[in-house]
Structure 1
Amino acid sequence: MVNPHVLILPYPVQGHVIPMMELAQSLAEHGFKITFVNTDASHERIVNALAERDALGEYIHMVSISDGMETWEDRNAPGKLSKAMASVMPGKVEELIQEINKSESDKITCMIADQSLSWAMEFGKKVGIKRAAFLPAAATLRILGFRIQQLIDDGIIDKDGNLLKKQMIQLSPSIPAMKTTDFVWLRTGSSTMQKIIFESMVRSNDGVKLADWLICNSTYNLEPDAFTSSPEIIPIGPLLASHRLGYQAGHFWPEDSTCLKWLDQQPPNSVIYIAFGSLTIFNRTQFQELALGLELTNRPFLWVVRADFIDAIEDAYPDGFIDRVGTRGQMVGWAPQQKVLSHPSVACFLSHCGWNSTMEGLSNGIPFLCWPYFADQFFNQSYICDVWKVGLGFQKDERGIITRGEIQNKVQQLLGHDMYRARALELKEVTLRSVSEGGTSYKNFNNFITWLKA
């Protein structure tokens, strides 16, 4: 029997690409042939960032298609990329599948697409191939999407997603309460982005109904009430390269592995690791307060400072900061995060609370300092601090700034109480059991494989 050929289609931002690349590598280990479809713009960055060119092996073939935008256009401009993708990519994917299917022995048998790409499920149904939607976020966020009409009927939001009532709500009786101000589309920074994400979530409600499977990069033990409430969402995570003992791919920036040697020289459980993902941007004032706060802790720290993290990065650090912290502080453009978080010298993770970072921190037993920036990250913070109780958040001052003193105090508070580390280590065992033989995610993933091969 010929091994199934699966086409995988992520949304073209790093936080969505990485878990789907991990899914691809997990499927490849079971003999599946994978065609992994990136946009031209993201494909170039991913290939350039791959430290090991043959890391993906013989079963994963990376291809790229146009996202509908010119190379010089700004893909960060609100709405432009989503609009261009929706108009151009369905036709490009159809052309790609038609080309691949000219081979009688190598036809695409299944499409796995990011759940936000509702048009992909529509197209998959049209051409008659198996379809799976992939959720790279918390299951509760998909349930929020399912409940949008109910929220409108209850007068909590209007038909455009605008908030009418500030309150705590429960999406179902068993799901922990959430703030209405933390609805994903309301935490996007602009009315344009709010409209785009709200409309995308509404469309996704229809798209996922066309999927044969709705799989999620989470685990039952972390969100039991969500998965009980919506059993159609199937947890198969956390999808991490460390669980496969394999190589992580999908980064948009080359990793600086020299920081691992620096970590080797630090005492156990001493280092603050700071990373804000691929999208967070700081103004100069906040950047300097963070730097000075790290300095005040008197602890070693590893800080990921992307080239686009702040304008004019070369002179953004406070005067004398680099000299004063000396070898106690290590700044890198991008880090091999899973390897960093598994290092025994790391004491805590100061994070933007993206879902991938959340899963990586939990899977390594690391407590969090939460600094959310965008969309679902605010809800993820509530999971970390209020439900799982493995972290602390920061309070902003009257200017909206998290001050150096607040940073120093929260570091002391988190690392001065063993309960956060102890609880984090408990959840590490929980997540490890879920992906180990006999665990819920392990069983679900194997059932998924059986369905793909049927």
Structure 2
Amino acid sequence: MSVPTVLVLPLPAQGHINPMMILSQRLAENGCNIIFVNNEFIHKKVLSSMGNQEGGVNRQSRIKLVSMPDGLGSDADRNNFREVFVSIKKNIPAMLEKLIEDLRLKDGIIVSCVVADSAMAGALKIASKIGIKGVVLYPASAAMLALDCSIPKLIDDGIIDSNGLPVTQKTFQLSPSFPHMDTGSIWWAKGVDSVFGNVIFNNVVDAMQTLELTEWWLCNSTPDLEPQALSYVPKLLPIGPLLRSYDDNQGVSERSLGQFLEEDLSCVHLAHFDKKQFTELALGLELTNRPFLWVVRQDSSSHEFKGNQGKIVEWAPQQKVLSHPAIACFVSHCGWNSTIEGLSNGVPFLCWPCFGDQFFNKTYICDELKVGLEFDLDENGLISREEIKVKVDKVLSDENIRSNSHVLKEKLLNTIKDGGRSCENINKFIKWLKELKI
């Protein structure tokens, strides 16, 4: 079998880079060479977080970190995700083709496969054009991919219009066995303005058409977690939960690989609060009279609040924190990475979704899996300090939620052990990679 070189291309956002990097580490551990591509802005942040100014993790690593331009001018605001996303989508075909050619001519590296984030699926057209096999990793839940695949049906059924916007407020099912969704589950129209929502929707439509070019559709899920969704999209290969390793023998570079700490959106912060909501959360935590760990971004006003029993930090290794036996519940925005990490550690959820797929994940956590509770808004549209205390007390005293959490944790961890379903699936994928003709 040959040694494959896999070019991995995530969307330049922390929640997308994380699962792509964890998959890359699994492939590297099994003898694959990885070219992990970020735009230049994110690439510099990743290297800075590692204290590493080189392209590789270390001399022995099979993972090589490289960058390519995002197409924006030097004075552009790289923290404006909309601007970055639109530019990358426009410029990636030419830039990726040039990168692959430069790797061949300058470094003697022949790329045998491209693994692209579904949001970067346009890269697979380039791979197909130049004769390279393509694979997609869907970083959200299998249910959201099922929704994406159903766009023509949603239009025909009058759920959304041709721009992806909900036509009416109602619940619907993708199939009789599928969990009920409502129009609030249509993630590309949730929590963003209509203009950017339309950009995202069109990208999803393009991505679904491009998937037909790919050999494999990978997802960070399991049949134990999403049986209906995986049955609805049978081509999906579940390889989750994709969990970061915290081996004490690893160096700092390996442990932090792929993290750009100061903007780690995968941690416990709950998006951008106005001052009133921040105050209610702070006082609610104080009101619970319980110890807490609060991860809050540096640019927040949070440091005005210290609390008597809590600790506020700017970044934390979320998965490692969640595995600690002292953690009794997880106040989460319900992004899919955080959902997977919380479920894999058997931690009950208190759900505070902000945008996109987080609202469906919240419903799934609370109503289908029954491992968490959601917060309710008051008449001012805020989650009050009293509501926070009530829900903390309730989730910690609910034996059914705790039991459900522990049962699901065991199922998820068993699937990635030797002989488990996800372990076998990723081994099957690696075998295919090694059989590729270069």
Q: Could you tell me the TM-score, scaled by structure 1's length?
A: 0.89
2:105 match: secondary structure? coil
2:373 maps to: 392
Deviations 1:253-304 (A, max 9, x none): 1699xxxxxxxxxxxxxxxxx8136xx2111111110000000000000000
1:101 match: secondary structure? helix
- Contact map agreement 2:262 2:297 (CA 8 A) in 1: no
**Is 1:375 the counterpart of 2:356 in the alignment?**
yes
1:4 maps to: 4
2:294 match: secondary structure? strand
Task: Select the residue among 396, 400, 403 that pairs with 1:419.
Answer: 400
**Is 1:89 the counterpart of 2:107 in the alignment?**
no
Q: Partners in 2 of 1:103 and 1:186 — Cα distance?
A: 43
Shift of 1:161: 1.2
Q: How many residue pairs are counted as aligned between the two chains?
A: 425
Change (3 A) 1:389 1:284: same
Shift of 1:242: 3.5
**Is 1:275 the counterpart of 2:268 in the alignment?**
yes
Q: Can you give the 5+ residue segments of structure 1 that lack an aligned partner in the other structure?
A: 257-273
Q: Partners in 1 of 2:417 and 2:344 — Cα distance?
A: 12
Shift of 1:70: 2.9
Change (3 A) 1:424 1:295: same
Deviations 1:316-342 (A, max 9, x none): x3xxxx2xx33x110000101111001
1:338 maps to: 319
**Is 1:293 the counterpart of 2:274 in the alignment?**
no
Deviations 1:389-417 (A, max 9, x none): 00000001122110000000000000011
2:245 match: secondary structure? helix
Q: Cα RMSD over matched residues?
A: 2.1
Structural mapping, 1:154-233, within 5 Å: 154-233=157-236
Q: Partners in 1 of 2:6 and 2:183 — Cα distance?
A: 38
Change (3 A) 1:378 1:244: farther
Change (3 A) 1:243 1:418: farther
Structural mapping, 1:2-401, within 5 Å: 2-50=2-50, 57-77=60-80, 79-102=82-105, 106-242=109-245, 247-253=255-261, 275-276=268-269, 280-308=271-299, 310=300, 312-315=301-304, 317=305, 322=306, 325-326=307-308, 328-401=309-382
Specify the code of the residue in structure 1 equivalent to 2:12. Answer: P
Deviations 1:182-232 (A, max 9, x none): 210121231122112211111111111111111001111100111111111
- The list of structure 1 runs, each at least 4 consecutive aligned residues, that deviate by more than 4 angstroms after superposition, is 51-57, 243-246, 312-315
Identity among equivalent pairs (%): 45
Q: Could you tell me the TM-score, scaled by structure 2's length?
A: 0.92
- Contact map agreement 1:50 1:254 (CA 8 A) in 2: no
- Contact map agreement 1:161 1:198 (CA 8 A) in 2: yes
Q: Partners in 1 of 2:72 and 2:52 — Cα distance?
A: 29
Greater mean deviation of Cα atoms: 116-125 or 46-55: 46-55
Q: Partners in 2 of 1:149 and 1:453 — Cα distance?
A: 37
Q: Partners in 2 of 1:219 and 1:244 — Cα distance?
A: 24
Deviations 1:148-199 (A, max 9, x none): 1111111111101121121111112221111112210121231122112211
- Contact map agreement 1:22 1:248 (CA 8 A) in 2: no
